[in-house]
Amino acid sequence: MRSCIYCGRELEKGEVCMCPQSVARRAKRTNTESEKTTENSKSKNTVNTDEQNRTTYKTGYTKKQSKAARAWNRYKARRESRRTINTDGMFKSFVSFVRSFIKSPVDKIINPPNIGKGMMLTIAALQGAVTWLCLYFVYTGASRSAFSVLGSVLGFGGIAGYSSLARMLLCILFGAVSGIVMFFVYTGIFYFINKVIFKSKTQYWDFSTRLSLTGIPLTVLGIAGVLLSFFSLTTLVILLLCGLISLIVLTYEALCTEWITKSPGSVMYAMMAGFFVFLSIVCYLIRVS
């Protein structure tokens, strides 16, 4: 039997799925076909007009550009386009994307936006920095009150206050770097399973798009935990645990979409094997350090 590529529901012969993704896809296809029909009719009218004007004598000089000139014009257009995109509220776009992801995380995992490599690595670095800062507060029991942090910045705590603040900044920096490293380890393990065991030909960065988004709830909950840890360290630990649970659930949803032709049981066991290898590597690095 056939099954929907979006929701996975089995379909009878000739049946179409009515899930939101399938409906949107069919609507988009219909609009595309109507646009093509309109363009074809316009092109036919243009040909007829050209044939009518072929006998008419026209004066003037038509400048023909060389291949180098056309290539240079295309390069300038692409450069201006990139400059406009890079300067037109990148931070606002990122915040808007995170807000929409928090509203419907599963839908964004199933139908992810077209994000680039830089966005994936930025999310991984931010996730690592927030996670390590949370772990620093949990394991060191450092003073987290707003007055203590402000006192360290103003120098009221002396050398001890500055050293504590420096350790926090180093922890954030190290966490950002380790977040990128863990991103490659995390996605690399599941890509290896995808490539070797399931024999899929999906490229690495295309496969990693969904997995790169699974850590967003953990990052948001970690930031909230850092702010709330000023009042309760227990709240920080609970929010971290909730973030880890969301990471596992979204990873399963991402893998189910990537391996839609596989049974849910196969996806679950493959995910468990991948997390076993990933956690083994993390525990080994912690023990060595």
Read off the tokens for 104.
């419907």
Return the percentage of the chain with pLDDT > 90, whole number: 37
Distance CA 89, CA 82 (A): 13
Distance CA 137, CA 132 (A): 9
Where residue 136 falls among pLDDT bands split at 50, 70, 90? Answer: confident
Where residue 255 falls among pLDDT bands split at 50, 70, 90? Answer: very high
252 Cβ contact partners less than 8 Å away, ≥ 6 residues apart:
267, 268, 271
pLDDT tens-digit series, residues 210-228: 999 999 999 999 999 888 8
pLDDT reported for residue 113? 84
Is the pLDDT confidence value at 251 over 80?
Answer: yes
> Average pLDDT for residues 163-174, to the nearest whole number?
83
Position with higher pLDDT, 194 vs 88: 194
Is the pLDDT confidence value at 87 over 80?
Answer: no
Of the candidates 21, 153, 72, 125, the residue with the CA atom closest to the CA atom of residue 133: 125
> Average pLDDT for residues 19-48, to the nearest whole number?
66
Q: What is Dmax (Cα atoms) for the chain?
A: 91
Lowest mean pLDDT among 115-124, 185-194, 267-276: 115-124
pLDDT reported for residue 20? 67
Where residue 58 falls among pLDDT bands split at 50, 70, 90? Answer: very low
SS3 string of the chain?
CEECCCCCCEECCCCCCCCHHHHHHHHHHHHHHHHHHHHHHHHHHHHHHHHHHCCCCCCCCCCCCCHHHHHHHHHHHHHHHHHHHHHCCHHHHHHHHHHHHHHCHHHHHHCCCCCCHHHHHHHHHHHHHHHHHHHHHHHHCCCCCHHHHHHHHHCCCHHHHHHHHHHHHHHHHHHHHHHHHHHHHHHHHHHHHHHHHCCCCCCHHHHHHHHHHCCHHHHHHHHHHHHHCCCCHHHHHHHHHHHHHHHHHHHHHHHHHHCCCCCHHHHHHHHHHHHHHHHHHHHHHHHHC
Is the pLDDT confidence value at 64 over 80?
Answer: no
- The mean pLDDT value of the chain amounts to 78
pLDDT reported for residue 208? 94
pLDDT reported for residue 183? 96
Where residue 25 falls among pLDDT bands split at 50, 70, 90? Answer: confident
Where residue 129 falls among pLDDT bands split at 50, 70, 90? Answer: very high
pLDDT reported for residue 88? 46
Is the pLDDT confidence value at 60 over 50?
Answer: no
Where residue 245 falls among pLDDT bands split at 50, 70, 90? Answer: very high
pLDDT reported for residue 158? 47
Distance CA 38, CA 45 (A): 11
* Contact (Cβ atoms closer than 8 angstroms) between residue 213 and residue 101: yes
Position with higher pLDDT, 280 vs 55: 280
**b/e code 250-289 from CB counts within 10 Å (16+ = b):** bbbbbbbbbbeebeeeebeebbeebbebbeeeeeeeeeee
